[in-house]
Amino acid sequence: MKRIICVSTLIFLTFGAFAQTDEDAVSAVLDDIHRLASEADFDGYFGLYTEDAVFLGTDATERWSISDFKQYAGPAFERGGWTYVMTSRNVFVSGDGNTAWFDERLDNAAFGDCRGTGALVKIDGVWKVAQYNLTVPIPNELLRPVAGMIRDLENDDQ
């Protein structure tokens, strides 16, 4: 009996150690996104996106197809990439296990507190980023002045 319990426990621990939930797998992809950008690994970074992915940047005009984002990001990767450090993250997976969405808080040396949100899809068992949206949250007490500054800038451009 002891032998059966020991073998059962060993099997459970072995398979349990290798089991990864979809939430963990999605989180690992997002961790890789940030690590590979920081390492300026262009091919590795963009290999984590779907072919039809969209990247939304902090500027209202920044809505890029993945091919456009590659062109934009290329010079930044040549200069060493960029670093965002995740400070908190929430991941949600659809009931069928093929779609996930997330929100995360990030820290960046130049921009401070940032937020990333987006969606991933599972393709042939592999999670890929379909959309990533990077924003800089504005405290409520600064929102009206900042919105006014943005309007003024837009009016100056016209």
Low-confidence stretches of the chain (pLDDT beneath 70)? 1-19
Predicted confidence at residue 153, as pLDDT, reads 84
In a domain, 7, yes or no: no
In a domain, 142, yes or no: yes
DSSP helix/strand/coil, 152 = helix
Q: Are strands 112-123 and 126-135 parallel, antiparallel or unpaired?
A: antiparallel
Predicted confidence at residue 14, as pLDDT, reads 43
Tell me how far apart the alpha carbons of residues 25 and 97 are, in angstroms, rounded to a whole number. 11
Q: What is the CATH number of the domain that holds 50?
A: 3.10.450.50
In a domain, 11, yes or no: no
Predicted confidence at residue 17, as pLDDT, reads 42
In a domain, 10, yes or no: no
Number of domains in the chain: 1
In a domain, 84, yes or no: yes
Predicted confidence at residue 150, as pLDDT, reads 83
Which residue is it, tokens 């980023």? 129
In a domain, 92, yes or no: yes
In a domain, 6, yes or no: no
Tell if the pTM clears 0.95, that is, is over it.
no
3-state helix, strand and coil shares in percent for the chain, rounded to the nearest 5: 45, 35, 25
Q: Which domain holds residue 136?
A: 22-157
In a domain, 131, yes or no: yes
